[in-house]
Structure 1
């Protein structure tokens, strides 16, 4: 489930290309229905046993779907060679893909879809639909980079110290979170995109957690050229190395139907110069079936205005339930934009050390509320997903 904010903002720049939203339409969770270029590899369904304790929030014990990515040393060298500084600089937030591929046509379908291609709930749609006719009556689509070409305003002012309530501030305190959070670079439908991810404490010392849509296009294909860059910063784009994916995992409900309650991906990375990623940058704890609500800190690399993907940004505040009742996700006040998808949400977070416990991640926004991010609840299925990945 991808972030809708940048696409909604882009709509104002495309007044002649995209028609207005339908009056009185219900809010829609906006998702990029990506068509990923598949890496060389295989896909398998891995049985996942039930966790010891029952899920307190109605989660189900599901199967885990695996994809073998850059398995050999030659595959890994090929992926690393692909990501030149120029390609990294030009990579777009993955959320733009749905707008470019489907946003101007799905509005004409029986189930009206939003800019990012997510089906609207019964009774209407909330994303802009339809498009302006070009020569011969065909909709005219700008390129992804034309959509992103608007001047970017300055990033929000830096706080003097970490705040316990902010919808988006640059993280300048350092600590472990500045190393364990990083950018993901991937290829989808022949174009290059970015997401966010975090290392987690795992048995194999190789696991990162991100959004499911940053790994696999729901029921569609897997991402290619998948690479994690921890501690990314424009001053030194890969200060702790670059780590290619060797095995990717998503929950069965996400793989089969793009179920937003399971928009989580776990990736087992290859080593970099012979070293496991968590041996280099450390790792955050991860927990499952925790209590709902409470205080959380969310991190990521938003790459659409007013951000540009060059710095780590955070949000902080109290979690709340999905007011529309469409998911079991929880919401966090946050204006981070596309590119932040997959960034970790932590509870019991220590602002001095930058350590916490990951209990969710950035997944989607509703079209009628750009200032609230939603993240999936980590129940038994996500626990099984993690246990499978850490044994890979």
Structure 2
């Protein structure tokens, strides 16, 4: 088994998550970082049952913080970066970005340069949703076109993009995404975290932008970057007009401990070629077990690329209405199988994560 290229993308293209073990190291050889003694004041650990402990991080709480984050994402920052490939840069002593230098910004990523034009290839498009596709443009609208969006974030001075989706919650503010789109494994939390639901080509924000208020990941993700727990929940601030995101765009159901092997639709905004991050893309088919036994994840036949990380997977999905239940998110690919996307199973740990986020 060999590991994949990442699925997190440097805004608006690639970087991010490695596979279930670090390059050249077995799980037994990996040493989790001791962050429990080094957490910043804004981070808190909630202890529940074993393997379901939750770490939370305070993001943009004040009006000034929110204005700063919204002002940060100029059209140039959203659109002006090339792919960054972190394959081979990960070490066992830190987060997913720990192999970079201690420099910040573009200097931290030798493979990242600005100013060049993006290359995109026209993707498959069908007027009718397909029950089985490895990657087609979603062209039929419905709820999923509003509830799914792009995420813009900064880690270590480098700007990235991911995907995410709203889910029904008590506070009407929760979006679900990949853990590595919230926290860099055992490393740093994301900054400047902003969700753009219903993103439109060219940087369109038909429903506005929503900054993160509080972020949540499971303990095994923060301690070990364990792919089986690569899920992040974010409680958003209301919009500038005071409206909750779910009141504006709606929300999908979320389900836990669902049957395995079901028909599933995965959505996201892949940004690495041949995609360009400007269109909502979907994959569909029945999910399967991890043949390597390295994770509890399920796999979906899918050629989506970096930038799709965190995009919602929906079971019981109705293509006519665009409604379903979120049962996973796009997480990683094995490098020797670029045709299968893997997503964490939503079990008790993710249920505890969600219960905490919806009360935030």
TM range (shorter): 0.7 to 0.9
Deviation of 1:251 after TM superposition, in Å, equals 0.3
CA contact (8 A) 2:7 2:332 kept: no
Q: Report if aligned partners of 1:3, 1:363 keep a CA contact under 8 Å in 2.
A: no
Runs ≥4 residues deviating over 3 A: 25-28, 116-119, 148-151
**Which residue, out of 70, 75, 87, partners 2:65?**
75
Q: Work out whether 1:44 is the aligned partner of 2:44.
A: yes
SS in 2 for 1:98: coil
**Alignment of 1:359 onto 2:327:** yes
Q: Name the residue aligned to 1:205.
A: 172
- Work out which of the residue numbers 315, 319, 333 in structure 2 matches 1:347: 315
Equivalence for 1:84: 74
What is the correspondence of 1:129-278 to structure 2 with a 5 Å cutoff? Answer: 142-145=110-113, 152-234=119-201, 237-272=204-239, 273-278=241-246
Gaps of at least 5 residues in structure 1 are 8-24, 29-39, 51-59, 120-140
Which whole-Å CA distance do the structure 2 matches of 1:89 and 1:301 have between them? Answer: 13
> 1:91·1:194 contact (CA, 8 Å) conserved in 2?
no
SS of residue in 2 equivalent to 1:328: coil
RMSD: 2.8
1:296 aligned to 2:284?
no
Q: Pairwise mapping of residues 375-386 of structure 1 onto structure 2 (< 5 A)?
A: 375-386=343-354
Residues 140-181 of structure 1: per-residue CA shift (max 9 Å, x gap): x843137x9586242323112110100000000000000000
Per the alignment, do residues 180 and 332 of structure 1 end up closer, same or farther by CA in structure 2, a change over 3 Å counting? same
How far, CA to CA, are the matches of 1:348 and 1:359 in structure 2? 10
Q: Name the residue aligned to 1:98.
A: 86
Structure 1 residues 252-290: Cα deviation after superposition (integer angstroms, max 9, x where no partner): 110111111000000000000200000000000000001
Alpha-carbon contact 2:97-2:184 (below 8 Å) kept: no
Which residue of structure 1 lines up, in the alignment, with residue 12 of structure 2? none
TM-score, length-scaled by structure 2: 0.82
Is the contact between residue 321 and residue 329 of structure 1 (CA under 8 Å) also seen in structure 2? yes
| Runs of at least 5 residues in structure 2 that lack an aligned partner in the other structure | 9-23, 28-39, 100-108
Distance in 2 separating the partners of 1:288 and 1:308: 32
* CA distance 1:144–1:41, shift in 2 (3 Å): farther
Partner deviation per Cα, 1:13-41 (whole Å, 9 max, x = no partner): xxxxxxxxxxxx9999xxxxxxxxxxx96
Instruction: Identify if the C-alpha distance between structure 1 residues 339 and 274 changes in structure 2 by more than 3 Å, giving closer, same or farther.
Output: same
Contact map agreement 1:3 1:338 (CA 8 A) in 2: no
Measure how far apart 1:91 and its partner are: 4.8
* Distance in structure 1 (CA, Å) of the matches to 2:196 and 2:265: 21
Question: Partners of 1:251 and 1:195 in 2: how far apart?
Answer: 19
Matched residues in 2 for 1:173 and 1:98: separation? 35
Cross-structure match for 2:17:
none
Q: Which residue of 2 aligns with 1:128?
A: none
Post-superposition shift, 1:98? 2.3
**Change in CA separation of 1:149 and 1:91 when aligned onto 2, cut-off 3 Å:** closer
CA shift in 2, pair 1:150/1:27, >3 Å = farther
- For 1:229 and 1:145, the matched residues in 2 are separated by 25
Aligned equivalents of 1:383, 1:263: Cα separation in 2: 13
The alpha carbon displacement at 1:298 in A equals 0.1
Highest CA radius of gyration, 1 or 2? 1
**Cα distance in 2, alignment partners of residues 145 and 328 from structure 1:** 36
Partners of 2:5 and 2:86 within 8 A in 1: no
Aligned residues: 319
Question: Which deviates more from structure 2 when the two are superposed, residues 157-166 or residues 328-337?
Answer: 157-166
| 1:47 positional shift | 2.8
Q: Is the 8 A contact 2:6 2:85 kept in 1?
A: no
